[in-house]
Amino acid sequence: MDIVLLANLLTLIAQLVSFYASTRKKKNQVLFFQNIFMLIISIASYLLKGYSAIITNIVCVIRNCLSMKGIASRWITYGLILFSVVFGTIVNRNGYLGYLPIIANIIQTLAVLDEKAGVRRVKISFGIACLLWTAFNWSIQSYVGSFFNLFNGISYLINGFKEKQE
């Protein structure tokens, strides 16, 4: 099977998980399904040589697990952001577009690790991040990922704005 086709098939599966996450009502449920999404999408990114995306996704899984366990601090937040920026930059092979996953991670990390942020803010941050991922995925030939990130970004934003104000 062609590598690009396999990566796009994995991306489709991952994006369906991400869509399901956008419909969850509790922050920990959203984060749990986002972890599954990010692990699958990391494999697809590896196949498509989207290395900055892999670093970003690993940091996101760690961040989500820390948040789900209630372990968050300003230093952990800054440390994860710094790690993502430094190592994402080192492995970036996609020019300016390779920084989009890093920027998306910063947006998500600030929302997820803020103990006061509820599901509304988390969903909105994921929606914005999905829109950034749309362009990155297109650049690495993850066309399914690009389409579904656009779709999921809109879904996260709609569902996020429907949530009660925190």
Domain ranges of the chain: 3-162
In this predicted structure, the answer to whether residue 35 has a pLDDT above a threshold of 90 is: yes
pLDDT, mean of residues 50-69: 87
**Mean pLDDT (the chain, rounded):** 89
Average pLDDT over residues 82-96: 88
Is the pLDDT assigned to residue 107 strictly greater than 90?
yes
Q: Identify the band that residue 114 occupies on the pLDDT scale cut at 50, 70 and 90.
A: confident
Whole-angstrom Cα distance, residue 151 to residue 145? 10
**Inter-CA distances, 83 with 12, 21, 129, Å:** 28, 26, 18
Tell whether the model's pLDDT for residue 1 goes beyond 80: no
Least confident of 63-67, 115-119, 141-145: 115-119
Of the candidates 108, 117, 22, 124, the residue with the CA atom closest to the CA atom of residue 61? 108
- Cα–Cα distance, 160 to 163 (Å, whole number): 5
Q: How far apart are CA 43 and CA 40, in angstroms?
A: 5
pLDDT for res 166 = 64
- Identity at 61, one-letter amino acid code: V
What is the model's pLDDT at position 130? 94
The whole-angstrom distance between residue 79's C-alpha and the CA centroid of its chain comes to 18
Band of residue 56 on the pLDDT scale cut at 50, 70, 90: confident
Mean pLDDT of 53-70: 88
Exposure letters 65-104 (e unless 16+ CB within 10 A, then b): ebbbeeebeeebbeebbeebbebbeebbebeebbbbbbbb
Q: What's the pLDDT at 53?
A: 81
Question: What is the pTM assigned to this prediction?
Answer: 0.81
Element (H, E) at 104: helix 100-112
Q: How confident is the model at residue 63 (pLDDT cuts 50, 70, 90)?
A: confident
Supply 146's token pair.
């690009």
Task: Identify the pLDDT of residue 145.
Answer: 86
Average pLDDT over residues 105-122: 87
Q: How confident is the model at residue 116 (pLDDT cuts 50, 70, 90)?
A: confident
